[in-house]
Amino acid sequence: MHSPSGVELAGLASLLVAVPAVALLGESGRRHTGAPRRAHLLLALGGAVVTAAALAGMLSALLLPHAVAQHHRQTLGQAVAVGMALGTLILLTGTLVLPGAAESPGAALRHLLDGLVISAAGCFVGWVLVMRPTRILGDHTPYGCLALVLPASVAMVAFGLTVVLGMHAYRPRTVTVWAAAGVTVVAVAATGISFGICRASSPVMLLAALTLPVGLLVVARAVKVADRPVLVTGDVTQRGTAYAFVPMLGMVGSAAWHYGNGGKVSAYGLAAASVEGFALVARQYLALVDVKRYTLQLRQREAHFRELAHTDPLTGLANRRGLLRALREQEVSGRPRVLIGIDLDGFKNVNDMRGHDVGDDVLAQVGVRLRANLLPGDVAARLGGDEFAVLMTATPDEAMLAAKRLLAVLGEPYEVGDASVFLSASVGVAGRPGPGDTGALMRDADLALRYAKQRGKNRVERYQKRYDELLRRHSLLESELRHAIARDQLRLVFQPVVALPSMRIVGAEALLRWYHPELGSVRPDEFIPVAEESGLINRLGAWVLQQSCRQLAQWLTGGHDVWVSVNMSPKELHAADYPGQVADALEEFGVPAQRLVLEVTEHAVATDMDELIARLGELRATGVRIALDDFGAGYSSLGQLRNLPVDILKIDHALVAEPESRTGTAAPLVDVVVRLGHRLGLEVLAEGIGTPAQRAVVEEAGCRLGQGSLFGWGVPAEHLEAQLRTLRSGAVRPAPAPRTAAAAPGGPARSQVIMLGPGVRQVRALLPTDPAFAAPPGDQDVGSVDSAHEIGQA
């Protein structure tokens, strides 16, 4: 035993600094859980083994006398080298399992092989530099210290792994790279300590002893933040392999230099070259496995996304793209194809009233019912919203039976939560006997579905060729109607309204007519629905209002005591600026507001009643009168009629025509409507009077106003004005025969105008039991019946 020198004591003291670093690694492992805990504990274990081996080696070297044989120092150096190499390998293992270093054990193996490729090349180059003839270290070449091979090789592996992790670790890579770099420093220090013990070199041992704690402290500092989130990028296409060429170029270059200078390949050089070759082969094998797995994943994902692209996510049925694919596949087969289009009636109300969650549940149940009622090979699809389709191979008759079955199935209640949802469906069926245009088949089914909707819904319609003609006609009418006003193709005709029983003209209804130079006269019941559907009705209504007010102003200026009624559509009625349009038209032409009557059909009463009352009240505030047209069509109730702000009740022509169509006697409904209107303070107008018998029924019921073909069809304004001038000149029509002096008990009611106050009048009904119920002496004087004075306007 000899007295240690100051250098040896300094080296021993510096090694003691590694102990706190190992303690930090252990504490870090204790605080973490899961994968980080395992990695930190491995690093702590590796650091402890390296530190213990270094301390044991340094103490043993200090205790050995200088005169001890060299082979004893080599044995001690080999033992220290094995222990420190083992600890360094444990440190490398802990680095590979750190979060962010590798996503799986397979990825860690790939990193290790990549590190071996670099380290084997480095070892070969180092062997060339150290061995003869290069001998870069000269006389300091440690030929006798074989223990250096193991820690030096491990150091090269650590260096290679650091390079690989710097290129392929997950972002942020700082933590992983710093940990690997710290392990590399530890491996270099292990090599230095082994070399110092083997060659009895105190300066080398001191330098290595100073370096070892630095490496461990770097590792400890790095793992403190090793559990931070990392960006996972597992795509093998992002893994570069260019780094493998550099080691190979280094090996080839060094081997050429070695042979060029007369060198020979020893066992160590052959081992390094073999490791390089096997590592490259293994790495390429793993790369091939990665590529195959990645290709399989790509195919699976492609199939998955292709299926998603052709599948509706809510119902699991095919979507529009999937239906088109099935249509093309069946088109190639040449078999007869039938496409059934389905649309749920009133589904929008489900979403609006109960929410989209309930609506989605209903749609999902529709998908289940469609799948349960189809044969193998049939394709059900959801095209969007509440529109579905079914593609099947069947004859048209079989398809109609299937469509009716689906109509019944879809009409059953849908149980959603604790409530039931009731819906119907409209179905259109179209078929092709063989190969044909896929788009044409879908268009045919859409047309059939469209006409099923138009004809009352909850029904099945089979496609017919005339549907194409109707569609072309509809498109042509819509296109031409847009320019009808500018091209002066629209005209107004006026159907007279007469007072009963004198048949004196007291008003007129403005009716729109369209005369096209090529299409001829287009019927209103054909172009008005087109205008409603295309949104042109507001423009046409504004034009009719303007022309009617202009004509009414001319008649009033000419001294004719008449009024004009104008029909308004529900869309016009619900337009926010419509009352303003009416007021502007009256002001522009100077027409008294009470001379204009706006007619709203009874169908509009089927809409929101509160909104309807508000809109009619705004119109009435302008001073115009409101007429409820087509009363008796079945939409309005007695309670609604009592609340509606209307002035005139127009009896539907179907009620007026009832005597001749059913009973042959006076229609009781006409009498009831007249009584009802008079009880509510309304004037009643019977429309559609076409025969003297119908006129007699209306008169017997006490109705004071009539309209129909018996009194004249719609005529141009100048023709009606000629009739008005004839009436003013005294050439009135013969009055009908006077009524009987008294009516039989239980006879029809009559109407009477009574004074409620100065300038305020009201019409009331006279029943046969009333004392004032008696036949008037001759024809009633109705010279200005239904004017502002007779309707109760102040």
Per-residue pLDDT tens for 726-746?
876 654 444 333 333 333 344
Comparing 280 with 210, the larger pLDDT belongs to 210
pLDDT beyond 90 at 203: no
Instruction: Please name which of 45, 49, 77 lies closest in space to residue 61, comparing C-alpha atoms.
Output: 77
The two structure tokens encoding residue 399: 């398809």
pLDDT beyond 70 at 636: no
Q: What is the DSSP code string of 135-157?
A: -TTGGG--TT-GGGHHHHHHHHH
Residue tagged 């819906």 (tokens) = 423
Confidence of residue 714 (pLDDT cuts 50, 70, 90): very high
Q: Residue 95: CA atoms inside 13 Å, Cβ hemisphere, count?
A: 40
pLDDT beyond 60 at 226: no
Per-residue model confidence (pLDDT) at position 60: 79
Per-residue model confidence (pLDDT) at position 449: 92
Per-residue pLDDT tens for 600-627?
886 666 556 788 888 899 999 999 999 9
138-147, 287-296, 689-698: which range is least confident on average? Answer: 138-147
Find which of 3-7, 245-249, 523-527 is predicted with most confidence, using mean pLDDT. 523-527
Phi, psi of 101 (to 5 degrees): -80, -45
The rounded distance, in Å, linking the Cα atoms of 616 and 22 is 90
The rounded distance, in Å, linking the Cα atoms of 450 and 456 is 11
Question: Which one-letter DSSP state was computed for residue 651?
Answer: E
| Amino acid occupying residue 659 | P
55-59, 82-86, 223-227: which range is least confident on average? Answer: 223-227
Instruction: Please name which of 441, 347, 463, 342 lies closest in space to residue 393, comparing C-alpha atoms.
Output: 441
What is each CA distance from 468 to 450, 463, 473, 475, in whole angstroms? 12, 9, 8, 10
Per-residue model confidence (pLDDT) at position 632: 72
428: β partners: 341, 461
- Sheet containing 424-432, strands listed edge to edge, beginning at the edge strand earlier in sequence: 379-384, 387-392, 337-345, 424-432, 460-462
Per-residue model confidence (pLDDT) at position 365: 93
The rounded distance, in Å, linking the Cα atoms of 15 and 10 is 9
pLDDT beyond 70 at 142: no
The two structure tokens encoding residue 687: 């429309």
The torsion region of residue 384 among left (phi > 0), alpha (psi -120 to 50) and beta comes to left
Q: Count other Cβ atoms within 10 Å, centred on residue 352.
A: 10
The two structure tokens encoding residue 548: 């009617």
What is each CA distance from 675 to 326, 429, 486, 701, 767, in whole angstroms? 64, 49, 46, 8, 9
Q: Where are the alpha helices (DSSP H) in 647-691?
A: 653-656, 658, 668-679
Per-residue pLDDT tens for 484-537?
999 999 999 999 999 999 889 999 999 999 999 998 999 998 899 899 888 899
Confidence of residue 259 (pLDDT cuts 50, 70, 90): confident
Confidence of residue 144 (pLDDT cuts 50, 70, 90): low
The rounded distance, in Å, linking the Cα atoms of 317 and 310 is 9
Parallel, antiparallel, or unpaired for β 387-392 and 414-416?
unpaired
Per-residue model confidence (pLDDT) at position 641: 76
pLDDT beyond 70 at 762: no
Phi, psi of 497 (to 5 degrees): -115, 125
Give the contacts of 554 (CB within 8 A, at least 6 positions apart).
717, 721
Confidence of residue 391 (pLDDT cuts 50, 70, 90): very high
Per-residue pLDDT tens for 396-412?
888 899 999 999 999 99
Q: What is the largest CA-CA distance in the chain?
A: 162
Q: Terminal CA-to-CA distance of the chain, rounded, Å? A: 137
pLDDT beyond 70 at 101: yes
Confidence of residue 333 (pLDDT cuts 50, 70, 90): low
Instruction: Please name which of 21, 380, 65 lies closest in space to residue 217, comparing C-alpha atoms.
Output: 21
Q: Which helix (H) or strand (E) holds 430?
A: strand 424-432
pLDDT beyond 70 at 172: no
Per-residue model confidence (pLDDT) at position 293: 84
Q: Count other Cβ atoms within 10 Å, centred on residue 450.
A: 19
What is each CA distance from 639 to 609, 629, 644, in whole angstroms? 11, 17, 9
Regarding pTM above 0.95, the answer is: no
Comparing 4 with 351, the larger pLDDT belongs to 351
Per-residue model confidence (pLDDT) at position 607: 58
**pLDDT above 90: percentage of residues in the chain:** 26
Give the contacts of 758 (CB within 8 A, at least 6 positions apart).
none
Comparing 341 with 22, the larger pLDDT belongs to 341
How confident is the model over 322-332, as a mean pLDDT? Answer: 82
Burial 739-752 (b: 16+ CB within 10 A, else e): beeebeeebbbbbe
Per-residue pLDDT tens for 460-486?
999 888 888 888 888 899 999 999 999
492: β partners: 512
pLDDT beyond 70 at 659: no
Comparing 565 with 614, the larger pLDDT belongs to 565
Q: Residue 460: CA atoms inside 13 Å, Cβ hemisphere, count?
A: 19
The rounded distance, in Å, linking the Cα atoms of 785 and 343 is 51
Q: Is the peptide bond before 36 cis (omega within 30 degrees of 0)?
A: no
* Dihedral over Cα of 183, 187, 192, 197: its sign: positive
Per-residue model confidence (pLDDT) at position 782: 34
What is each CA distance from 711 to 40, 203, 698, 706, 790, in whole angstroms? 106, 132, 14, 8, 21
Question: Which one-letter DSSP state was computed for residue 647?
Answer: S
How confident is the model over 134-155, as a mean pLDDT? Answer: 72
Instruction: Please name which of 210, 222, 280, 194 lies closest in space to residue 18, comparing C-alpha atoms.
Output: 210
pLDDT beyond 90 at 195: no
How confident is the model over 437-455, as a mean pLDDT? Answer: 85
Find which of 286-300, 554-568, 718-732 is predicted with most confidence, using mean pLDDT. 554-568
Confidence of residue 81 (pLDDT cuts 50, 70, 90): confident
The rounded distance, in Å, linking the Cα atoms of 68 and 309 is 81
How high is the mean pLDDT of the chain?
Answer: 79
pLDDT beyond 60 at 53: yes
Q: Where are the alpha helices (DSSP H) in 644-745?
A: 653-656, 658, 668-679, 692-700, 717-728
Burial 762-773 (b: 16+ CB within 10 A, else e): ebebbeeeeeeb
307-321, 429-443, 688-702: which range is least confident on average? Answer: 429-443
Per-residue pLDDT tens for 61-80?
777 665 555 557 777 878 88
The two structure tokens encoding residue 580: 């303003």
